[in-house]
Chains A and B, each alone.
Chain A
């Protein structure tokens, strides 16, 4: 027969003589909050939901692409009709563009961090690198469109062969997710211009954008190996 004594958590602002509680002491994240549970001040300490949300999104998107990958492997496994084709070379250029966009986004993030931290960076506008990132993102999408056009010119359409079907499905799914990232970046630029940007919003958007890079490189390797 176990006996448990439940004590109210010690809260420093209510009783300063008690030791300061650390996280994990039965209090969860919000234990750091002051007496009264004022959410606004709590928010300074609680981990931002936007950060968690990005990992949740990464998990869901990974599952989607894992499902499509398994479909590719199963479909190719027993196929007698599989026709290999060479990936359009513009894809490699697109990869460079996408990687460059991640670098410019990191540059933007540093500028914004410094700007928010009170450091003067002369005439440098933190939004400039974000604009460049946005432009590179659209350039990547345009490049993907050109890749589709190149395949069309070879007579490879969505239904031509299972290999081309998977190519279009994978690249279109990635492009759709990238469009979400572009929408996020547009929102960040808009907020920055209106001086309402939160660092966490920018960080979350940047993390998503880098994940799009990782996903694309995975897809490029997968498609060049399997198609």
Chain B
């Protein structure tokens, strides 16, 4: 019996198809599985948004075949108000959890975190495998709610109690639909907790020789900070979901107050707290915003350095700012509840950190812009999407200043201004981060290049498209266009209908553009130009191994790291970059900008 100091499982080459591709222990396969799940989810979510947008722009339009999706929700192919809300809820839930959290964090993180720190795998591959399959089960459970009698829940992705806790009296899908929703999210939480466990231990304990914390690429920092946030946020959402399920199935009264009459029925519950769910949900919900965006920030920083061919303005300040975002994200959640009736002093207490959190965000943006300033940029598709992400993040961030102030938020709350804000700052920005990462890492993941021309077409049409969709949301919000309404055919909202029609056409167009991306992805996977080991002339460890990487990532010998991650534009060096694994002695001028 030997005393070894490592609980590591050495990878053995799986022999069967199931072991290799289905229940794989290889972090790279698991990363691809996560990516595949996110890809399916994003197209489902986008399809739902298409249906919603058609209905908003053309409220009486019969969408051919819609009744096949739901007999009750779309009699005569025209969407009922309830069905609109059901689609909206599912769109939000699918996108936030199974796309924005899954793709930049779980998919890319799984594939590249161990490689970028120079490890042969994650320390707990079985947990890693479970993490994916539990998440996948969560997705199936969520999808199953489409096939229940009255369809999925209509409570919105925030699923506010008490209406979400009561049952079918509050509308179709509010019974079994909510139970499936909460079960799905609880499963998702378990998956993310297992993932975070692996990410944190890999970053802390599995780094190769020479890979100090400050030599880790920005991507690794992004994933590490996100996993710490995920660990604490999902650990709170999970018990909240369990309490919600108990209110449904066990007759408890955690969230349902006394004497509540819904649909002319007195609810048989007593004493529950109406704000409790909001506190628990937003304690998770605000960090979740950063869980979605911080990996994207890491990816964009990483790609930007490769494209501008010089080090980022300040690697360390970027890391500190991302850390500050993570810490502050727990202190701001109350800004989602400014109009919930909580104490005005609490509003001020939550407003202050909400304004403070713009400081690290601004620093991050300024570092990106400062790094770009005067650089000779290699304007390839990953770079375009990275710069696009900076643009959408700034646009969405600026509207955040307005919402951070309770006095303004009272006016803008629950209007399209908020919808425009979070779609820019979180959804589109994170999505651009995912696109940038996909074009950048596809060669390493699949050994083939993606088509650059199609990529650039995809970028420009998407970039213009998302601005056409989400910029008018701000104007609508300022015109007091409330969100969550299923149609704007009455009174003061009617003059805004042409704006909604414009947005609908833009959404259909931008959605269709994504088929170019899908085509590029599938075509390049099989017929793309073969990729070299280092097609972008990058410096980090993923570019010093074979394409695609072998089972143990580095072919038997772990790399030794000698340099900071972004040694580009090195004077007197043989190339214009020095890889982290190169033992070459170099002299750099860090802060030339």
Whether B590 contacts A68 by the Cβ 8 Å rule is: no
Q: How far is the CA of A44 from the CA of B209 in the complex (A)?
A: 13
Q: Which residue of A lies closest to B235 (CB)?
A: A63
Q: Which residue of A lies closest to B254 (CB)?
A: A75
Whether B4 contacts A3 by the Cβ 8 Å rule is: no
Q: Which of B41-89 contact A (CB under 8 A)?
A: none
Whether B6 contacts A48 by the Cβ 8 Å rule is: yes
Q: Does B101 make an interface contact (CB < 8 A)?
A: no
Identify which of B269-277, B289-297, B478-486 touches chain A.
Answer: B269-277
Whether B243 contacts A52 by the Cβ 8 Å rule is: no
Identify which of B210-218, B414-422, B437-445 touches chain A.
Answer: B210-218
Q: Which residue of A lies closest to B227 (CB)?
A: A56
B182-220 to A contact mask, C-beta < 8 Å, 1/0? 000000000001001100111011111111111100000
Contacts of B592 in A (CB 8 A): 1
Q: Does B583 make an interface contact (CB < 8 A)?
A: yes
Whether B7 contacts A200 by the Cβ 8 Å rule is: yes
- Smallest CB separation, A11 vs chain B (Å): 8
Q: Which of B577-593 contact A (CB under 8 A)?
A: 583-592
Q: How far is the CA of A199 from the CA of B1 in the complex (A)?
A: 10
Q: Does A162 make an interface contact (CB < 8 A)?
A: yes
Interface centre among A49, A79, A165 (most CB of B within 10 A): A49
Contacts of A66 in B (CB 8 A): 236
Q: How far is the CA of A35 from the CA of B558 in the complex (A)?
A: 10
Q: Does B280 make an interface contact (CB < 8 A)?
A: yes
Contacts of B238 in A (CB 8 A): 64
Contacts of A56 in B (CB 8 A): 196-197, 200-201, 231
Q: How far is the CA of A79 from the CA of B255 in the complex (A)?
A: 11
Whether A2 contacts B585 by the Cβ 8 Å rule is: no
Q: How far is the CA of A79 from the CA of B564 in the complex (A)?
A: 57
A29 in contact with B279 given A42-B558, A78-B273 (CB within 8 Å): no
A52-96 to B contact mask, C-beta < 8 Å, 1/0? 110011011101101110110011011111100000000000000
Out of B246, B276, B563, name the residue touching A6 (CB < 8 Å).
Answer: B563
Q: Does B559 make an interface contact (CB < 8 A)?
A: yes
Out of A43, A63, A74, name the residue touching B5 (CB < 8 Å).
Answer: A43
Q: Does A45 make an interface contact (CB < 8 A)?
A: yes
- Smallest CB separation, B40 vs chain A (Å): 28
B278-313 to A contact mask, C-beta < 8 Å, 1/0? 011001000000000000000000000000000000
Q: Does B250 make an interface contact (CB < 8 A)?
A: yes
Q: Does B240 make an interface contact (CB < 8 A)?
A: yes
Whether B567 contacts A38 by the Cβ 8 Å rule is: no
Whether B258 contacts A81 by the Cβ 8 Å rule is: yes
Q: Does B433 make an interface contact (CB < 8 A)?
A: no
Whether A116 contacts B1 by the Cβ 8 Å rule is: yes
Contacts of A8 in B (CB 8 A): 562-563, 583-585
Contacts of B232 in A (CB 8 A): 59-60, 63
Q: Which of A73-124 contact B (CB under 8 A)?
A: 74-75, 77-82, 115-116
Q: Does B16 make an interface contact (CB < 8 A)?
A: no
Q: How far is the CA of A3 from the CA of B562 in the complex (A)?
A: 17
Out of B5, B242, B246, B567, name the residue touching A48 (CB < 8 Å).
Answer: B5
Q: Does A19 make an interface contact (CB < 8 A)?
A: no
Contacts of A47 in B (CB 8 A): 5, 204-205
Q: Does A39 make an interface contact (CB < 8 A)?
A: yes
Q: Which residue of A lies closest to B5 (CB)?
A: A48
Contacts of A29 in B (CB 8 A): 205, 207
Q: Which residue of B lies closest to A196 (CB)?
A: B1
- Smallest CB separation, B97 vs chain A (Å): 18
Q: Does B560 make an interface contact (CB < 8 A)?
A: yes
Interface centre among B1, B214, B240, B251 (most CB of A within 10 A): B1
Q: How far is the CA of A199 from the CA of B7 in the complex (A)?
A: 9
Q: Which of A1-33 contact B (CB under 8 A)?
A: 1-9, 11, 26-31, 33
Whether A71 contacts B280 by the Cβ 8 Å rule is: yes
- Smallest CB separation, B188 vs chain A (Å): 15
- Smallest CB separation, B18 vs chain A (Å): 24
Out of B2, B239, B250, name the residue touching A67 (CB < 8 Å).
Answer: B239
Interface centre among A27, A36, A56 (most CB of B within 10 A): A56
Q: How far is the CA of A80 from the CA of B239 in the complex (A)?
A: 24
Q: How far is the CA of A76 from the CA of B196 in the complex (A)?
A: 33
Out of A1, A37, A201, name the residue touching B209 (CB < 8 Å).
Answer: A37
Q: Does A204 make an interface contact (CB < 8 A)?
A: yes
Q: Does A217 make an interface contact (CB < 8 A)?
A: no
Out of A6, A33, A67, A198, name the residue touching B280 (CB < 8 Å).
Answer: A67
Whether B213 contacts A28 by the Cβ 8 Å rule is: yes
- Smallest CB separation, A207 vs chain B (Å): 13
Whether B123 contacts A64 by the Cβ 8 Å rule is: no
Q: Does A221 make an interface contact (CB < 8 A)?
A: no
Out of A36, A49, A61, name the residue touching B6 (CB < 8 Å).
Answer: A49
Whether A44 contacts B5 by the Cβ 8 Å rule is: yes
B310-344 to A contact mask, C-beta < 8 Å, 1/0? 00000000000000000000000000000000000
Whether A162 contacts B253 by the Cβ 8 Å rule is: yes
Whether B208 contacts A80 by the Cβ 8 Å rule is: no
Contacts of B564 in A (CB 8 A): 6
Interface centre among A39, A45, A75, A80 (most CB of B within 10 A): A39
Q: How far is the CA of A67 from the CA of B236 in the complex (A)?
A: 6
Contacts of B7 in A (CB 8 A): 48-50, 198, 200-201, 204
Contacts of A80 in B (CB 8 A): 258, 271
Q: Does A159 make an interface contact (CB < 8 A)?
A: yes
Q: How far is the CA of A8 from the CA of B6 in the complex (A)?
A: 27
- Smallest CB separation, A8 vs chain B (Å): 4
Out of A67, A77, A201, name the residue touching B235 (CB < 8 Å).
Answer: A67
Out of A27, A33, A71, name the residue touching B243 (CB < 8 Å).
Answer: A71
Q: Does B111 make an interface contact (CB < 8 A)?
A: no
Q: Does A139 make an interface contact (CB < 8 A)?
A: no
Whether A63 contacts B558 by the Cβ 8 Å rule is: no
Q: Does B8 make an interface contact (CB < 8 A)?
A: yes
A9 in contact with B210 given A68-B239, A198-B3, A198-B4 (CB within 8 Å): yes
Q: How far is the CA of A31 from the CA of B486 in the complex (A)?
A: 60
Q: Does A132 make an interface contact (CB < 8 A)?
A: no
Whether B210 contacts A28 by the Cβ 8 Å rule is: yes
Whether B558 contacts A169 by the Cβ 8 Å rule is: no
A46 in contact with B206 given A38-B558, A67-B239 (CB within 8 Å): yes
Whether A59 contacts B231 by the Cβ 8 Å rule is: yes
Q: How far is the CA of A56 from the CA of B120 in the complex (A)?
A: 21
The 8 closest A-B pairs by CB, nearest first: A43-B6, A37-B558, A49-B123, A81-B271, A63-B235, A159-B251, A50-B7, A49-B201
11 residue pairs bridging A and B, Cβ less than 8 Å apart? A6-B567, A30-B207, A30-B208, A37-B560, A43-B4, A46-B6, A60-B235, A64-B239, A81-B270, A165-B254, A200-B6
Known: A165-B254, A196-B1. 19 other contacts (CB 8 A): A1-B589, A6-B567, A6-B586, A9-B562, A26-B210, A33-B209, A37-B118, A37-B208, A37-B559, A47-B205, A48-B7, A49-B7, A56-B200, A56-B201, A70-B279, A71-B243, A80-B258, A158-B252, A162-B254
List chain A positions with a Cβ less than 8 A from chain B.
1-9, 11, 26-31, 33, 35-39, 42-50, 52-53, 56-57, 59-61, 63-64, 66-68, 70-71, 74-75, 77-82, 115-116, 158-159, 162, 165, 169, 173, 195-201, 204
